[in-house]
């Protein structure tokens, strides 16, 4: 076993939620009469902690309006998150990795409350041994999430791999000294992910699963 600890991002990697996040950011801006970011700018912030994401998506947002923006974003996202689905093949892939003895974990820009809700709704909770969220650690690309997960299980950086759909995931992995895999079906485009030199760019869950079966 090359990778004892396999860490997944959530939104855009396991859950097909990138579009819903973009729409919620844009709707929150409309509610507050703020400039509405285009799809590319709104999708770029996916994976960051919520406060950081709002600051990047709406650079002119005044500090006193941060909380209102976060509240409106949550309103729009949570009104439809029950309809979001996992990418095809995710449960089977996680079940196989879990059965093979890998330690599975989540490192996400979601809040703890948001991740707990998502774990329950998706049915994926039994597969994961631990998780870290942006409201209890530094936001990506800071390495704290990965460093804490490795410390929790006593796993070295060489035995850890991070899987995500954004440059924030890949930079976090680099900052923690761990290998990274990019998936191109989420928030960030293929060319942007390649700039950060992942081990591979996988175009769907079937390709990701096949890579892990052969290399993990």
- Contact in structure between 112 and 136 (CB atoms under 8 Å): yes
pLDDT tens digits, one per residue of 145-159: 999 999 999 999 999
Q: What is the pLDDT along the chain (216 residues), one digit of tens a residue?
A: 899 999 999 999 999 998 899 999 999 999 999 999 999 888 888 888 877 888 888 888 888 888 899 899 889 988 888 888 999 999 999 999 999 999 999 999 999 999 999 999 999 999 999 999 999 999 999 999 999 999 999 999 999 999 999 999 999 999 999 999 999 998 888 888 999 999 999 999 999 999 999 999
Q: What beta strand segments (E) does 101-167 contain?
A: 103-108, 130-133, 160-164
Residues serving a catalytic function are 9, 11
Q: How many Cβ atoms are within 10 Å of 158's Cβ, its own excluded? A: 12
Q: How far is CA 81 from CA 18, 89, 127, 144, 214, in A?
A: 11, 20, 21, 27, 34
- Considering the domain 5-16+85-215, what is its CATH architecture? 3-Layer(aba) Sandwich (3.40)
Residue whose C-alpha is closest to residue 160's, from 171, 145, 140, 146: 146
Res 59: pLDDT? 86
Res 130: pLDDT? 98
Q: What is the pTM of this model?
A: 0.91
- Contact in structure between 98 and 104 (CB atoms under 8 Å): yes
Res 56: pLDDT? 83
What CA–CA distance (Å, rounded) separates 199 from 24? 32
Q: How many Cβ atoms are within 10 Å of 56's Cβ, its own excluded? A: 15
Sequence spans of domains, the chain: 5-16+85-215, 18-82
């Amino acid at each position: 076993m090359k990778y004892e600890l396999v860490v997944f991002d959530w939104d855009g990697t396991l859950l097909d939620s990138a579009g819903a996040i973009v729409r919620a950011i844009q709707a929150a801006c409309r509610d507050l009469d703020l400039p509405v970011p285009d799809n590319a700018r709104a999708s770029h912030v996916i994976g960051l902690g919520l406060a950081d994401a709002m600051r990047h998506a709406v650079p002119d947002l005044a500090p006193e309006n941060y909380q209102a923006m976060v509240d409106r974003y949550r309103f729009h996202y949570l009104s439809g998150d029950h309809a979001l689905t996992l990418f095809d093949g995710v449960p089977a892939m996680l079940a196989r990795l879990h059965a093979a003895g890998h330690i599975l974990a989540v490192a996400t820009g979601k809040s703890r409350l948001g991740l707990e809700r998502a774990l329950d709704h998706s049915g994926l909770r039994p597969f994961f041994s631990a998780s870290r969220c942006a409201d209890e650690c530094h936001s990506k690309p800071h390495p704290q999430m990965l460093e804490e997960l490795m410390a929790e299980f006593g796993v070295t950086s060489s035995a850890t791999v991070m899987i995500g759909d954004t440059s924030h995931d890949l930079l976090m992995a680099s900052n923690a000294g761990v290998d990274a895999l990019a998936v191109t079906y989420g928030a960030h485009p293929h060319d942007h992910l390649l700039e950060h030199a992942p081990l591979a760019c996988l175009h769907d869950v079937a390709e990701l699963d096949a890579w892990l079966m052969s290399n993990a």
